[in-house]
Chain A
């Protein structure tokens, strides 16, 4: 079933991709233009996704409820980190992200907090000072 759903999604994507490509025009340039190559891609991609729908493999083993919750939490942490990195500053955002991920990986609070503090300090010093990669130090409202 999963294969069929993914196949259908990719089929829809290929059709959309091919049709969108048809609207690209260039008045000058080479004989092929910007539309031909994408259209050439969309046709075999659509055929292959049809093959996936008609001839699916055995159902893959999806993670059960708990692991999936953990994965969802991890994705939330990652997205939150990406969004807050510049707002909250690197040290604070990293501390929170590492500590929360540590908890997610089933360690105790003290260890998670300690690893967050150490990792954010070490990474900040290494990348900002040693490797000269400018990182936001303080939260936006303080700087």
Chain B
């Protein structure tokens, strides 16, 4: 039982006063960020990453804080879905379908309770999965050679948008844009400056964190300014202060079904929590909606997608930690933090830094319990946060972004780069080009190129070497299948649109 010892060791790390405080802070801040409409987990983690630098945290503590923010966001996203019918973040969209009708029927407190329990079941399930599967995957991944890693990156880029993305061409294009941005700077192998225009500011390339804060936080402010004239959403009354135990459990087996589906979606590179919530809801609807209550406030319609999105967010940590390939947008942002702290995630992480990995896993168990407590008895506190005026929130987000970026490099050049990324990010969002593949390209570009070069050095420039290992061939087969599915779905959708139009 090697992993039990390791887990105990992890609890010893997670229960040090600093780490415990950071976990509590992360849960609290995360729930607020998740609950506020417009600030999702990606933005939340992106804005607070610089805080980890300015606090001068050790890598383990920084990762614990950000993971707790991440889990907190996933819990918090449902609050505005249920209370305002506005999803607090993208994965919480499915929760509006049954959550808001239930709240309108005077059962807001019950809906929040059911979804808190579902979040707990989903997130705990995923954390258990992380404990059991991550070490196994890390052991398997040690056999990966450079050619296999190259194939793995190809797979990640091909699937990052998931099979649900509207236009697979745009998602792929976004990945290439990210890879192109990543190649700016001195070429690590030969020292040749590439695309620097002779400016020494660009010799180190674009800092992924500056790009991330710009793309997500600054573009979010622009999106908000566009929608300013939308009518004010009205909050439904909370109802009972505390839901009854019987009501809390009325999600029943939907909690577990949603967890399993969400977890699987989370592990797939790039699919992420939105897909987890979507698939869980659709499955639950087919499985148990004989009486046609779905969409009218069915508890199972709240439990399934909430369990699904929380399980997916835990599952997404597995490929990030074991392979260095993030399973979702938020884990991509966390990968940026690890890389900035000179920690290379991957199979060796489990051997070389067991304290970091197991401390993180233990902190996630603690976070789940803390979040359950915060989200049932203390839920009133968070619903009041929803009334925070935007003229305080938005400037605050901007200022924390600026301070964070400034704290990394103390250069105003980076501030301008951040604003530029913000404007570009806004335009890309407008035309439906996803930002997550760009970040992924920016983060993995250098590694992808290095692995390609390493593979070709081994083979003396023979490109067929890339297709010789069974692992690489298997990965390319999966990539091909996923791309075909995405293409077929997109063509079918076009046909549907034409048929309707």
List residues of chain A with CB under 8 Å of any chain B CB: 2-3, 6, 10, 13-14, 17, 20-21, 24-26, 28-34, 37-38, 41-42, 44-45, 48-49, 51-52, 55, 57, 60, 62-63, 66-68, 70-71, 74-75, 78-79, 81-83, 85-86, 94, 97-98, 101-102, 104-107, 111-112, 115-116, 119, 123, 127, 131-135
Which residues from chain A contact B180 at a C-beta distance below 8 Å? 13-14, 17, 38, 41-42, 45
Please count the residue pairs between chain A and chain B whose beta carbons lie under 8 angstroms apart in the complex. Answer: 180
Q: What separation, in Å, do the CA atoms of A135 and B406 have in the docked complex?
A: 9
Which residues from chain A contact B190 at a C-beta distance below 8 Å? 26, 28-29, 33-34
Q: What separation, in Å, do the CA atoms of A3 and B221 have in the docked complex?
A: 23
Are A67 and B431 neighbours in the complex by a CB distance under 8 Å?
no
Contact A101 to B398, CB < 8 A, known contacts A48-B169, A106-B228, A127-B403: yes
Counting from the closest, the 8 A-B pairs by CB-CB distance are: A82-B415, A26-B190, A31-B461, A105-B391, A45-B176, A107-B391, A34-B187, A48-B173
List residues of chain B with CB under 8 Å of any chain A CB: 54-56, 166-167, 169-170, 172-173, 176-177, 179-180, 183, 187, 189-192, 194-195, 218, 221-222, 225-229, 389-392, 394-396, 398-400, 402-403, 406-407, 410, 412, 415-416, 418-419, 422-423, 426-427, 430-433, 448-449, 452-453, 456-457, 460-461
Contact A105 to B228, CB < 8 A, known contacts A41-B176, A115-B392: yes
Q: What separation, in Å, do the CA atoms of A100 and B7 have in the docked complex?
A: 51
Q: What separation, in Å, do the CA atoms of A29 and B453 have in the docked complex?
A: 10
Which residues from chain A contact B226 at a C-beta distance below 8 Å? 63, 67-68, 70-71
Q: What separation, in Å, do the CA atoms of A102 and B396 have in the docked complex?
A: 10
Which residues from chain A contact B170 at a C-beta distance below 8 Å? 52, 57
- Output the nearest chain B residue to A111 by Cβ-Cβ distance: B391
SS of A interface (majority):
helix
Q: What separation, in Å, do the CA atoms of A45 and B170 have in the docked complex?
A: 10
Q: Which listed residue (B228, B407, B412, B422) contacts A70, Cβ 8 A?
A: B228
Q: What separation, in Å, do the CA atoms of A17 and B180 have in the docked complex?
A: 8
Which residues from chain B contact A52 at a C-beta distance below 8 Å? 169-170, 173
Q: What separation, in Å, do the CA atoms of A10 and B419 have in the docked complex?
A: 20
Q: What separation, in Å, do the CA atoms of A67 and B416 have in the docked complex?
A: 22
Q: What separation, in Å, do the CA atoms of A28 and B190 have in the docked complex?
A: 7
Which residues from chain A contact B431 at a C-beta distance below 8 Å? 2-3, 6, 57, 60
Are A102 and B419 neighbours in the complex by a CB distance under 8 Å?
no
Are B407 and A101 neighbours in the complex by a CB distance under 8 Å?
no
Q: Which listed residue (A32, A49, A70) contacts B452, Cβ 8 A?
A: A32
Are A78 and B422 neighbours in the complex by a CB distance under 8 Å?
yes
Listed by A's residue number, 27 A-B pairs whose Cβ atoms lie within 8 Å are: A21-B194, A24-B187, A26-B187, A30-B456, A32-B461, A37-B452, A37-B453, A45-B177, A45-B180, A51-B169, A57-B431, A60-B431, A67-B226, A68-B226, A70-B225, A70-B228, A71-B225, A74-B225, A85-B406, A105-B228, A105-B391, A105-B394, A105-B395, A112-B391, A119-B395, A127-B403, A131-B55
Contact A82 to B176, CB < 8 A, known contacts A71-B222, A74-B225: no
Are A31 and B225 neighbours in the complex by a CB distance under 8 Å?
no
Q: What separation, in Å, do the CA atoms of A64 and B315 have in the docked complex?
A: 41
Are B395 and A30 neighbours in the complex by a CB distance under 8 Å?
no
Which residues from chain A contact B390 at a C-beta distance below 8 Å? 105
Least CB distance, B328 to chain A, in whole angstroms: 23
Q: What separation, in Å, do the CA atoms of A13 and B195 have in the docked complex?
A: 12
Q: What separation, in Å, do the CA atoms of A101 and B399 have in the docked complex?
A: 11
Least CB distance, A66 to chain B, in whole angstroms: 8
Which residues from chain A contact B166 at a C-beta distance below 8 Å? 57
- Output the nearest chain B residue to A123 by Cβ-Cβ distance: B399
Are B432 and A60 neighbours in the complex by a CB distance under 8 Å?
yes
Q: What separation, in Å, do the CA atoms of A25 and B189 have in the docked complex?
A: 12
Are B402 and A101 neighbours in the complex by a CB distance under 8 Å?
no
Least CB distance, A33 to chain B, in whole angstroms: 7
Least CB distance, B222 to chain A, in whole angstroms: 5
Contact A119 to B396, CB < 8 A, known contacts A34-B192, A48-B169: yes
- Output the nearest chain B residue to A3 by Cβ-Cβ distance: B431
- Output the nearest chain B residue to A94 by Cβ-Cβ distance: B399
Q: What separation, in Å, do the CA atoms of A127 and B399 have in the docked complex?
A: 11
Are B402 and A85 neighbours in the complex by a CB distance under 8 Å?
yes
Are A37 and B169 neighbours in the complex by a CB distance under 8 Å?
no
Which residues from chain B contact A29 at a C-beta distance below 8 Å? 189-190
Which residues from chain B contact A49 at a C-beta distance below 8 Å? 173
Which residues from chain B contact A51 at a C-beta distance below 8 Å? 169
Q: What separation, in Å, do the CA atoms of A100 and B400 have in the docked complex?
A: 16
Least CB distance, A82 to chain B, in whole angstroms: 4
Which residues from chain B contact A68 at a C-beta distance below 8 Å? 226
- Output the nearest chain B residue to A108 by Cβ-Cβ distance: B391
Q: What separation, in Å, do the CA atoms of A79 and B402 have in the docked complex?
A: 11
Are B391 and A37 neighbours in the complex by a CB distance under 8 Å?
no
Which residues from chain B contact A67 at a C-beta distance below 8 Å? 225-229
Are B456 and A31 neighbours in the complex by a CB distance under 8 Å?
yes
Q: What separation, in Å, do the CA atoms of A106 and B392 have in the docked complex?
A: 11
Which residues from chain B contact A10 at a C-beta distance below 8 Å? 173, 177
Are B187 and A98 neighbours in the complex by a CB distance under 8 Å?
no
Q: What separation, in Å, do the CA atoms of A49 and B172 have in the docked complex?
A: 10
Q: What separation, in Å, do the CA atoms of A85 and B157 have in the docked complex?
A: 38
